[in-house]
Structure 1
């Protein structure tokens, strides 16, 4: 007799991430049911041993643990409610886990919706690409009832070895998803800008990758210190000051003009630096920008009365 019988799992949504999640469960021996609005995406998973449910209601009914990997909370609600009236009805007594984009408010609304149907709920996020799902160092974090998380932790850990429960506030995963994810596009834009500069000289973008990786490793190394400054509110012993970045604005613009590169995406960051200097942060650590970000910029007064017409 096996010591542990793998929990049956349903995966709703078979985009690239949903397919990776379902594949990891199949590989780990979990009876896996899949459903997607476009059924042809299920074929490779069925070939691996998944059961393709004919309806979303059937998919939900087949497993005590339902993983929804659709684009947003709204898409999950729409699929569960509009595909079949019975889909949401059969959620009672099951655990619904959402792995999608959205806001903390969306997570709270989703949790309330699930609770009203008698379902337990966890919100979560996969902090890696689909190809990394199932690997020992892949990070996923969840928020919601700790007892519910503990009940399914072994199953959820199939998706990534670095599986974390952030806390009982159900919107924490969405909050951290927004907070951590905020660095992605700016970092990629920085790399793309560098690639544009390099290729403008006839060099290959691949020649800068090793150096970019070392630079990102340096950034990673200084994050704890910057976080400590932010948490303490003491910015007076900078390794890199606001003024240092502020004074480089002109050089960046000159370099971009020389290479014919559009650097207009810098302007909002440059404006933050100008506001920081105006607020007295020139000699403070660059982490003092968080104080500027905490304050909405003042809007010019709106015309009043007949003159506004």
Structure 2
């Protein structure tokens, strides 16, 4: 990247992720302006070369590219509203949590104030910002992505443009993120079960990693089954997963664990069986999750 290519960037929101983003831009040689409601959060970045104006409108005016990294779309609008006039003609990239509906509202707000809007999601932790394999994906104004792509890649080398719909990043974020909490709770349950036997949670990490690698290997197979709508050649059937429900209950009794969180999953498996998917691939649960699908209707009717 040449001196000419080092586009000025403003980062609004200096939590752990926002601070990591700003630090990456500073490290890459971009003139970096920062702003946070609590100015003291910007002090370490100023010490590294960032500029921190006292007023938000001045911070926005300092750069053609504004990165807003706050908690939600609502908090982003609330923070930017007092300086909304300064956004006109600038590229606004939002990196926060929220629903697709929230992303659409964010885009409409930005456009109403004359900003060119691109919404994104960071699929990693703050310490991974700037790494070649750190994934960020974006939806919205393709012109913004094309113009600032080299600058956006400072935040992560695996940078993807999903398309012009402003809610695509939020949609993928929620679609992908749905696996996180169940997977973590499963790990926490395993840790509790081991501790009940006087063993450490650390002793299972290597085995859990292998298990996640196995899951990773079968995701393309499941995705193909779902996209074809053909679940008739299972590697693992719904019935096989349902048979394991009794084992979950046994483990709970033996290790004195609260297993209530399993019940919705077991109920989903039973509904899939009622819909005729017992001997089909477990990926057929996708059809039961669709409220208006024939399979979901059959399973609900069977429960009634």
How high is the TM-score relative to the length of structure 1? Answer: 0.93
Residue number among 118, 128, 131 corresponding to 1:132 in the alignment: 128
Task: Tell me which residue corresponds to 1:22.
Answer: 22
> Aligned-pair RMSD on alpha carbons?
1.3
SS in 2 for 1:71: coil
Q: Does 1:291 align with 2:287?
A: yes
Task: Tell me which residue corresponds to 1:180.
Answer: 176
- Rounded to whole Å, the distance in 2 between the matches of 1:242 and 1:295 is 19
Task: Tell me which residue corresponds to 1:33.
Answer: 33
Task: Tell me which residue corresponds to 1:141.
Answer: 137
Per-residue CA deviations over 1:30-71 (Å, capped at 9, x if unaligned) read: 011111111111111011001112021111111110000000
Task: Tell me which residue corresponds to 1:110.
Answer: 106
The verdict on how the C-alpha distance between 1:143 and 1:272 changes in structure 2, with shifts beyond 3 A counting, is: same
Aligned length: 295
How far the C-alpha of 1:148 sits from its partner, in A, is 1.5
Task: Tell me which residue corresponds to 1:4.
Answer: 4
How far the C-alpha of 1:4 sits from its partner, in A, is 3.0
Per-residue CA deviations over 1:100-137 (Å, capped at 9, x if unaligned) read: 00111111111111111111000000000000000000
Per-residue CA deviations over 1:177-235 (Å, capped at 9, x if unaligned) read: 00000001111011101111111111111010000000000000000000000000000
- Rounded to whole Å, the distance in 2 between the matches of 1:79 and 1:125 is 19
Task: Tell me which residue corresponds to 2:157.
Answer: 161
- Rounded to whole Å, the distance in 2 between the matches of 1:71 and 1:154 is 25
Task: Tell me which residue corresponds to 1:190.
Answer: 186
How high is the TM-score relative to the length of structure 2? Answer: 0.95
Which runs of 5 or more residues in structure 1 are unaligned? Answer: 301-309
- Rounded to whole Å, the distance in 2 between the matches of 1:208 and 1:103 is 34
Residue number among 192, 217, 222 corresponding to 1:221 in the alignment: 217
- Rounded to whole Å, the distance in 1 between the matches of 2:200 and 2:105 is 48
Which runs of 5 or more residues in structure 2 are unaligned? Answer: none
- Rounded to whole Å, the distance in 2 between the matches of 1:3 and 1:47 is 21
